[in-house]
Amino acid sequence: MKKERTFAVYTLGCKLNFSETSAISRQLSEYGLSLSNTPDYIIINSCAVTGTAEKKVRNLVSKLHKAHKDSEIIVIGCYSELQSELVKSWNGVSAVFGSINKTKVIGYILNSENKCNSDLQFSYSSNDRTRSFLKIQDGCDYHCTYCTVAAARGESRSDTIAHVLQNIEQIAGTGVKEVNLTGVNIGDFGHGTAETFYDLLHAIVQQNVVPRIRISSIEPNLLTDAIIELVAQSDVIMPHFHIPLQSGSNKILALMKRRYKRELFGKKVNLIKEKMPEACIAVDVITGFPDENAHDFEYSYQFIKELPISYLHVFTYSKRPDTPAATMSNQVPETVKRERTDQLLALSARKKEQFYQQNFHKTASVLMEHGKYQDCMFGFSHNYVKVKLPYNETLRNCIIPLEITPENISLI
């Protein structure tokens, strides 16, 4: 009797990677392979956004090779796109596929290139019965001076509105209540075609087959006033925005080759709060970019402090190979970078506490999750406040009205 082949998947990095890994896993399962703790094949979807992310790839390969000597380890994704020869040299690695051709891992495992389904290019995650991450766009044409994503992911390309709606229909059929639209630069959806991201959102609102849609990270210059207005008027698209700022100094933004100034960013944030006072706004910031002096940082810090944002994702600048920023003069010392990161993390904690306090004693619609931890279950409100309740099986994957209180806020 032929032995059933097995596999395991590991995902590092962003929600986009999670979406892709899940899609690959789903198709391998459709071809008769099964997930296992003692797999024949181990697929690692890698990340290269920071130096720390790169170390995680290598450490994970080493750990898994020691634990599964007989397994074939296959590394796919951004890091293997940028450093394919290096990854091939690591002990235990049997095959390497980059970001652009990562779906070929299916053909490799099945030993048939004909079985590699191109539909995985824009597919969705299906491991979580509560929410799904739907990939609508890939690649980036922006070439910021600190970033390797454009090199790792290739030029901007998008799905079609018709196929996105088809995917959402399929997702809805599985009972999932929330779809998160993901991509490298989702505001660039439709680039080179007659379709736009606004057109997509409008079509999704008209389709109205899942209760909740969330927009993942979107560039401030691509977050149009029309999109903000559409979200404000919609019961389907959640009032939750993730907008990369990177710096509150126009000097540093110019050095980064970002496509906006702080004034535009502030305008977008204030418009969101004007239209949706309860909206959650998460912001990405990089500390210690080359030539960021004390004045630049203080200018940026005060700008962020005064904005009505909810919390920060703070990244300490790290040199990425083959990027213009890596060779810039006036590199900031590591100790200074860390001090600035700590200051912004402390500011973020205060911002988040204030945001939660603004929601106290207000009733929110909360999607309860399937998981259980220490006799509690967790969920997120429409505006992304995380709550906890005593575990109740009947509430799993249900959207319920809940008064937000200091007692049911979750900080984990």
State residue 1's pLDDT score: 41
State residue 113's pLDDT score: 46
List, for residues 131-150, the tens digit of each pLDDT value: 899 999 999 999 999 999 88
CA-based nearest residue to 163, from 124, 122, 196: 122
| Run of H or E including 297 | helix 294-306
Amino acid making up residue 54: E
State residue 2's pLDDT score: 53
Cα-to-chain-centroid distance, residue 412: 19
List, for residues 196-222, the tens digit of each pLDDT value: 999 999 999 999 999 999 999 999 999
What gap in Å lies between CA 352 and CA 349, rounded to an integer? 5
Check if the beta carbon of residue 74 is closer than 8 Å to that of residue 80: no
Low-confidence residues in the chain, pLDDT < 70 = 1-3, 112-121, 127-129
Check if the beta carbon of residue 43 is closer than 8 Å to that of residue 77: no
State residue 102's pLDDT score: 79
Residues in the chain: 412
State residue 4's pLDDT score: 82
State residue 305's pLDDT score: 98
| Run of H or E including 334 | helix 334-359
- DSSP H helices in 51-160: 51-67, 78-82, 84-88, 104-110, 149-153
How would you class 384 by CB atoms within 10 Å of its CB: exposed for 0-12, middle for 13-18, buried for 19 or more?
A: buried
- The residues with which 397 forms a beta bridge, in sequence order, are none
State residue 99's pLDDT score: 83
CA-based nearest residue to 48, from 187, 247, 184, 181: 184
3-class SS of residue 88: helix
Check if the beta carbon of residue 74 is closer than 8 Å to that of residue 108: yes
State the pTM of this model.
0.89
Look up residue 290 and give its two tokens: 């080359």
